[in-house]
Amino acid sequence: MRTSPDVGGARLDLAGTRSFTDPGAGAVRRAAITDYTTTWLRQVWADATGGRAIPGVALAAVGSLGRGEPGPLSDLDLVLLHDGRSLGNGELVTFADRLWYPIWDAKVRLDHSVRTLTECRRVGADDLAAGVGLLDIAPVAGDEELVAAIRATLAHDWRAAVRKRLPSLVADVEARHARFGDLSQSIEPDLKEANGGLRDMTVLRALVAGWLTDRPHGGVDAAYATLLDVRDALHVVTGRSRDRLGREDHDAVAALLGFPDSDDLLTLVSSSARTVAYALDSTMRRAGQSQRARTLRVGPRRPHLRSLGYGVYEHDGEAVLSGVRTSDPMLPLRTAAVAAGAGLPLAPQTLTNLAEADPLPTPWPPLARELFTDLLAAGPGLIPVWEGLHSVGIIDRWLPEWAAVDSRPQRNAVHRHTVDRHLLETVVEAGTLVRDVARPDLLLLSALLHDIGKVAGAHDHSHQGAAIAAGVVARLGLDEADATLVVRMVREHLTLIELATRRDQSDPATIAAVWEAAGGDSDGLDLLRALTVADAKAAGPAAWTEWRATLLTSLVGAARAAAPGASDAAVVAESVTELPADVGFLVADGRPHVSITPLGGAFQVEVYDRDRLGLFADTAGLFAALSLTVRSAVLRTIDGVAANEWIVESPSGDMPDSARIARSLEQLARGDRSPLGALERRRAYARAGTDRSIAQARAFVIPDAATAATVIEVRGPDRIGLLHDLGVTLAKAGLSVHSAHIATYAGQTLDTFYLTEYGGAPLTPGKVAATVAAMIDCCDKPALAR
């Protein structure tokens, strides 16, 4: 009687003799396991047949053996194929038992079936997962022509039906990912079923086999091979057929694969999973586009493009570039900000083109910083765009420090993401808090960098991160005050929550520590509090509980109440200057004077005109009508003449026409509103398909900021024509804008108005209340209501 072999042990021994560290060793190891397993199965076949050939009958493999990539202890998925004529039913059952029992006796886990071509086709049509698996069917023993014919027929069936089955395939993938989670973000990942796992590569190949899309390029094959190597090592160190990499196995698997510690292993696993996940996501989009393109049309097919501005278009669910100079160093920033703001991923070819752009100068110019914070302010749309930029190396060019935290695991139980993903999630959370701070741009930069010090070997990531952040903000070109503030935020980002949860809030020393961390500044405290909240929310539910939120609110309130000379930072009015000599005569004749100076991608527009009720609204509306984006503005009144300085950006890149602006202002002063006609057209286009929900802007009085005017600050989301609407609101209330400080940070406005009654007196308390309410109402109402 033949003794059953220990096939599992033999495959483990075979795997153990092959290197797990040499380049290419994994493919050699899996080829050896495939050869051994196939040779043994052919012997089982020979024993079952008695050495005689049986036409129309064959043994085939699907799954990992069919693909030629089995692990040391992978299950066998075998199909006994027959033509329905060579063996009778009784003979077929007896013959199948002679095949399956030796495999079971060898302690090999087996998934088996007996099918004809018709039955294979029926299973493939009824069961989507089985249909995908049958595409990998490969001969093991017996009639190879039968296997080849069935394989060809199943592939034909798949190609014929895949377009109709694509929605179901996508739904199945999404359901599996929801069940097993994101491999790249898990400390104990499922290497097979999770998002970015081995199963996703099978789906990707099925999409390609359906002729819906091309094979993805880049490092996806190397990433897939890495995941297979980790699975093989997991089999060897556990002696079991496992796909979940448990904590208890981290060190042994890392040692077998030659990593100095398990964090390096998890970093590589996370990075590889992200590459596979991104490749599948991109391939599924390509497949969906191919499916939608298969419609009967008369005449040439033309892509449907919707302009997003700056040469960026939406095409079939992706952001693409058209007709732009790809060498422009600002192009990747601008394109990414537009795409993320629209919630669209960047198309693969667009990413390739962006990677060819010239590098940004060091330090970055102001426009580059503004575009970068616009990108950070995009909300959830930031993450897929960032992943795309990272895949082609653009993020590493912008932030070389990012590589040290890329895919870095976090073993703290409260964290649910890798370091790099946590930083992005914190930026997204911070984007919901921008109206709580005076400088949203610095909040977003601090959120992006707050854990940049969580690198290998770091003992105090806050202080190490502050040193790294100092280099980053210097390269970004922040001025000394802003750079110091961001570095302080990175260094102190844990201070508030630690004081709130670990110190006596009634102790003066605790309050003193709060103000020291905030730099003794109220705005700094606002920033630190917002960063603390965003960091905790991004970490996960264990880090942000109702109890911790209550403690933090209580601590900040106690600190504000105990602040020496407590008051909000006053806005300092601009000092009065003299008018240029040639301007007064022009303005006296009723002719506005406009001069424009290029500022490295933006433009400084100086406007001199007779001061009048509604001038601010008219100028802001005119800029919006001309598709100019206002970045900042300072308004002054000198001897009855409005001397206004605006910083604007032109989406087309062309310098604004100063003569046209002057003529339009003159028309508006005469009551001719035609120059603002384009503003309503822009608003109508922007309103299409947008969310018109209430935005909940904020407006409040800054006490003691001025003696001759009432100072009101407005914070809210920017939109087309917002400054014009605010100006109209103030003009309708009969108020003069004595001075205004307009700024847009990361898609959020921070507008401070020095207001007086038309006669020059500060506002009465009743007027203040009505004005604040009117300004909030103006910001919150959709433009459609005007």
Q: Which residue has the higher pLDDT, 201 or 505?
A: 201
Measured between alpha carbons, how far is 545 from 599 in angstroms, rounded to an integer? Answer: 47
Buried (b) or exposed (e) across 269-305, using 16+ Cβ within 10 A?
Answer: bbbbbbbbbbbbbbbbbbbbbbbeeeeeeeeeeeeee
Measured between alpha carbons, how far is 163 from 144 in angstroms, rounded to an integer? Answer: 30
Per-residue pLDDT at 577 = 58
Instruction: Name 82's bridge partners.
Output: 57
The two three-digit tokens of residue 405, written as one number: 């935290």
| Long-range residue pairs from 668-671, CB within 8 A, at least 24 positions apart, any chain | 668/618, 668/622, 669/590, 669/592, 669/609, 669/610, 669/612, 669/615, 669/618
How sure is the predictor about 686, in pLDDT bands with cuts at 50, 70 and 90?
low
Measured between alpha carbons, how far is 370 from 482 in angstroms, rounded to an integer? Answer: 14
Q: Average pLDDT over the chain, rounded to whole?
A: 89
**To the nearest 5 percent, what fractions of the chain are helix, strand and coil?**
55, 15, 35
How sure is the predictor about 589, in pLDDT bands with cuts at 50, 70 and 90?
confident
| Long-range residue pairs from 166-171, CB within 8 A, at least 24 positions apart, any chain | 166/212, 166/287, 166/288, 166/291, 168/128, 169/128, 169/132, 169/203, 169/206, 169/207, 170/284, 170/288
> What residue spans define the domains of the chain?
7-164, 181-292, 432-567, 587-687+694-785
Per-residue pLDDT at 786 = 39
Contacts of 262 (CB under 8 A, 6+ apart): 250, 251, 253, 254
Buried (b) or exposed (e) across 35-44, using 16+ Cβ within 10 A?
Answer: ebbbebbeeb
- Helix residue ranges, H only, 432-507: 440-449, 461-476, 480-492, 495-502
Angle at 60 between CA 54 and CA 64, to 5 degrees: 165
Per-residue pLDDT at 295 = 52
Per-residue pLDDT at 33 = 95
Instruction: Tell me the average pLDDT across 747-759.
Output: 83
Per-residue pLDDT at 631 = 73
Question: How remote is the C-alpha of 299 from its chain's centroid?
Answer: 38
Instruction: Tell me the average pLDDT across 61-73.
Output: 96
- Which range is least confidently modeled, 2-11, 128-137, 432-441, 647-656? 2-11
- Our separate counts of H helices and E strands in the chain read 30, 15
- Helix residue ranges, H only, 540-589: 546-561, 583-588
Instruction: Name 748's bridge partners.
Output: 717, 745
The residue to which tokens 């190597």 are assigned: 229
Instruction: Tell me the average pLDDT across 373-397.
Output: 96
The two three-digit tokens of residue 570, written as one number: 């006053």
Measured between alpha carbons, how far is 157 from 541 in angstroms, rounded to an integer? Answer: 47
Q: Which residue has the higher pLDDT, 427 or 366?
A: 427
**Backbone torsions φ then ψ of 62, nearest 5 degrees:** -120, -170
Instruction: Tell me the average pLDDT across 323-347.
Output: 90
DSSP 8-state secondary structure symbol assigned to residue 24? T
Q: What percent of the chain has pLDDT over 90?
A: 65
User: In the chain, what's the furthest Cα-to-Cα distance?
Assistant: 116
| Long-range residue pairs from 680-684, CB within 8 A, at least 24 positions apart, any chain | 682/624, 682/625, 682/627, 682/720, 682/721, 683/720, 683/721, 683/783, 683/784
Q: The whole model's pTM is what?
A: 0.84
- Which range is least confidently modeled, 19-28, 144-153, 628-637? 628-637
DSSP 8-state secondary structure symbol assigned to residue 762? P
Per-residue pLDDT at 2 = 53
The two three-digit tokens of residue 567, written as one number: 């008051």
| Long-range residue pairs from 84-90, CB within 8 A, at least 24 positions apart, any chain | 84/116, 84/118, 85/56, 86/54, 86/55, 86/56, 86/57, 87/54, 87/57
DSSP 8-state secondary structure symbol assigned to residue 355? T
Contacts of 584 (CB under 8 A, 6+ apart): 641
Radius of gyration (C-alpha) of the chain in whole angstroms: 33
Contacts of 649 (CB under 8 A, 6+ apart): 367, 370, 601, 602, 603, 628, 629, 631
Per-residue pLDDT at 289 = 81
Q: Give which of 172, 182, 275 is closest to 227, Cα–Cα.
A: 275
The two three-digit tokens of residue 632, written as one number: 């900042």
- Which range is least confidently modeled, 358-367, 602-611, 631-640? 631-640
SS3 53: coil
How sure is the predictor about 77, in pLDDT bands with cuts at 50, 70 and 90?
very high
Instruction: Tell me the average pLDDT across 753-779.
Output: 90
Per-residue pLDDT at 186 = 93
Residue type, 780: D
130: alpha, beta or left, given left = phi > 0 and alpha = psi -120 to 50? alpha
Q: Give which of 215, 170, 220 is closest to 197, Cα–Cα.
A: 220
DSSP 8-state secondary structure symbol assigned to residue 244? B
* 3-class secondary structure per residue, 204-221: HHHHHHCCCCCCCCCCHH
Per-residue pLDDT at 294 = 60
- Helices 144-180, 117-126: axis angle to 10 degrees equals 20
User: How many C-beta atoms surround the C-beta of residue 480 within 10 A?
Assistant: 9
Q: Which residue has the higher pLDDT, 428 or 292?
A: 428
CATH of 7-164, one of 3.30.460.10, 3.40.50.300, 3.40.50.1100, 3.30.420.280: 3.30.460.10
Instruction: Give the pairing of strands 138-142 and 110-115.
Output: unpaired
Per-residue pLDDT at 575 = 41
Contacts of 166 (CB under 8 A, 6+ apart): 212, 287, 288, 291
**Cβ–Cβ under 8 Å, residues 270 and 418:** yes
Measured between alpha carbons, how far is 293 from 306 in angstroms, rounded to an integer? Answer: 17
The sheet with strand 710-717 has its strands ordered as 593-599, 602-610, 641-649, 629-638, 735-745, 748-757, 710-717, 698-701
Per-residue pLDDT at 753 = 86
